[in-house]
Structure 1
Amino acid sequence: MRALLMFLTSLVLGLSPAVHAAGERPLTLGVVPYLSARAIVQLYRPLEDQLERNLQRPVRLVTAPDYFTFLDKTAKREYDLIATSPAFGRLAQLDTGYVPLLRPVNSLEVLLVTLSDSRIQELPQLRGQTVATTDALATLTLAGQRGLKDKGLVPGRDVTVRPTNSHANSLAAMQRGDAVAAITSATALKQLGQAAGAPVRVLAQLGVTTPLLYLVSPALSNGEVETLRRTMMEFANGTDAGRKFVNELGHGGLAPVSPKDMASLDPLVSDLRAQLESTR
């Protein structure tokens, strides 16, 4: 079943409106699976189309069934261009040689939310309760757990953090009563829209990070890297379609990534490595 899911996910996302030139290898754009495959197609198809037009090269939009598989495929350099979670991006740079390309202009607030009619009003009421999150490896989860600890709630001791595989599932877990709160973001809630179900309210801000990072494989030439950087920045910041694309993602535009941006993610990468080690 898992193998079938992976095949279907790649097949659906790989259906491009452009006709691929015979024998030409597509540029593979891999997007971390923070939303459903359908939602990722809707959000990132404009970028795929723009890259195909500007590069005059087929582009294949893909994701993975879960965070671990996406991380593994990144480590194997199966993606030419990745739109990935910040901790994954820094890990890919350090361990696999991926080159930082761009970051969103806007930062991302890591939020702890509960249902609007929940009895939970203050953080101490979470003691002994379950908090839902997307994936144990997601940067939102890593940053959220750090935020909980900073506020006196140690995950695994004072509160249980339970992965649900998606933001939608986390909200559904609250509605079922399987969790009293969820780690998410305003951007994720906006992207879910009506799928979010019952209304939620914010209990606390748990941290701030960049929403996403774009990096390119070390297999690409310097010329290809700079062409991608220029093409994506011109699209995102200089065209109506591009501005709509980044606004729907909550990115507010795209900007170069600085070494300081990348180094600031090292604490989260340490947490990520520890989480990966614990699952072996």
Structure 2
Amino acid sequence: MRALLMFLMGFVLALAPAARAAGERPLTVGVVPYLSARTLVQLYKPLQEHLERSLQRPVRLVTAPDYLTFLDKTAKREYDLIATSPAFGRMAQNETGYVPLLRPQNSLEVLLVTLKESSLQDVSGVRGQTIATTDPLATLTLAGVRALRERGLVPGRDVTVRPTNSHANSLAAMRRGDAVAAITSSTALRQIGTAAAAPVRTLAVLSTTTPLLYLTSPMLRAPEVETLRRLMVEFANGTEAGRHFMEELGHGTLVPVSARDMASLDPYVDDLKAQLETLR
């Protein structure tokens, strides 16, 4: 009887983590919709599985149908952890109290690309033409438009910037002849996996900025934040699956976010707020 009781006690203890995980509120990870939902799930699933396994807690990976919805859900604190657009991250920090957690080591290069067979030779060639971009609220778009203005190409006057909702759609717009160029990044081209179907060449590096940011909700306690920081660094920088994850994203490694990184995004936040005024 004693042996049976010991066996049953061990069995119950072995099931306890799973039982806690089943009954505990999921940790919600929100990923900004810069790619299709299916692609984002495929890319971020290794991180989700690592966190779920390490925390012994359900982890829910979600996105939103568009940038505006994602921004609104972030403002409502519906996400515990966000992988978000840089300008969104700075706004979430300033206005909602989200805590900067980590950033990829590699900076974000904002590219202006065209099809390989295009006759365009430089940025000046897009004057009077249409440029495709993902979303008017994306930091890539904000940074690209700012760089075009600095080059004397004012959107709406000298060039048309047309949102397509995704990087893949921007490439498709060029293939159809609806746009002569697109604002994108080398990491986005790599992640969508369709660059081979639409061979492109870079006309210019329009600007360089802080890449996608990871932040945590102000609803999480400080120990929870530090646990997430530690687990994500261990995963990305210290495991084979994590290194593959970072390679797939083109992000290098995960590093701390500096106050300087965040402050550098303020001009884009100003542009973001101006763009929001036109949408609401």
Give me the TM-score of the superposition, normalised by structure 2. 0.91
Give the match for residue 137 of structure 1. 137
Is the counterpart of residue 245 in structure 1 residue 237 in structure 2? no
Q: CA deviation at 1:195?
A: 5.9
> Which structure: larger Rg?
2
Matches within 5 A, 1:258-273: 258-273=258-273
In 2, Cα distance between equivalents of 1:57 and 1:124: 53
Q: Quick check: 1:171–1:196 contact (8 Å CA) kept in 2?
A: no
In 2, Cα distance between equivalents of 1:196 and 1:70: 30
Q: Quick check: 2:22–2:57 contact (8 Å CA) kept in 1?
A: no
In 2, Cα distance between equivalents of 1:20 and 1:155: 54
Is the counterpart of residue 73 in structure 1 residue 105 in structure 2? no
Q: Quick check: 2:108–2:211 contact (8 Å CA) kept in 1?
A: yes
Q: CA deviation at 1:22?
A: 3.4
Partner SS for 2:193: helix
Give the match for residue 36 of structure 1. 36
Q: CA deviation at 1:134?
A: 0.1
Unpaired runs of at least 5, structure 2: 1-17
Is the counterpart of residue 221 in structure 1 residue 203 in structure 2? no
Q: Quick check: 1:189–1:196 contact (8 Å CA) kept in 2?
A: no
Q: Quick check: 2:168–2:194 contact (8 Å CA) kept in 1?
A: no
Cα deviation digits, residues 23-65 of structure 1 (max 9, x gap): 3100000000000111101100000000011111110000001
Is the counterpart of residue 92 in structure 1 residue 89 in structure 2? no
Measured on the aligned residues, the alpha-carbon RMSD in Å equals 1.3
Q: Rate the CA distance shift 1:141–1:196 in 2: closer, same or farther, 3 A.
A: farther
Matches within 5 A, 1:25-64: 25-64=25-64
AA at the equivalent of 2:239: T
In 1, Cα distance between equivalents of 2:194 and 2:162: 23
Q: Quick check: 1:19–1:58 contact (8 Å CA) kept in 2?
A: no
Q: CA deviation at 1:21?
A: 3.1
Question: Percent of counterpart pairs with the same letter?
Answer: 77
Partner SS for 1:102: strand
Is the counterpart of residue 124 in structure 1 residue 124 in structure 2? yes
AA at the equivalent of 1:228: L
Cα deviation digits, residues 205-262 of structure 1 (max 9, x gap): 1101122000000000000000000110111111111111111111100011111110
AA at the equivalent of 1:167: H
Give me the TM-score of the superposition, normalised by structure 1. 0.91
Aligned pair count reads 263
AA at the equivalent of 1:45: K
Q: Quick check: 1:112–1:205 contact (8 Å CA) kept in 2?
A: yes
Runs of 4+ in structure 1 deviating by more than 6 angstroms, as ranges, are: none
Q: CA deviation at 1:196?
A: 5.5
In 2, Cα distance between equivalents of 1:221 and 1:167: 36
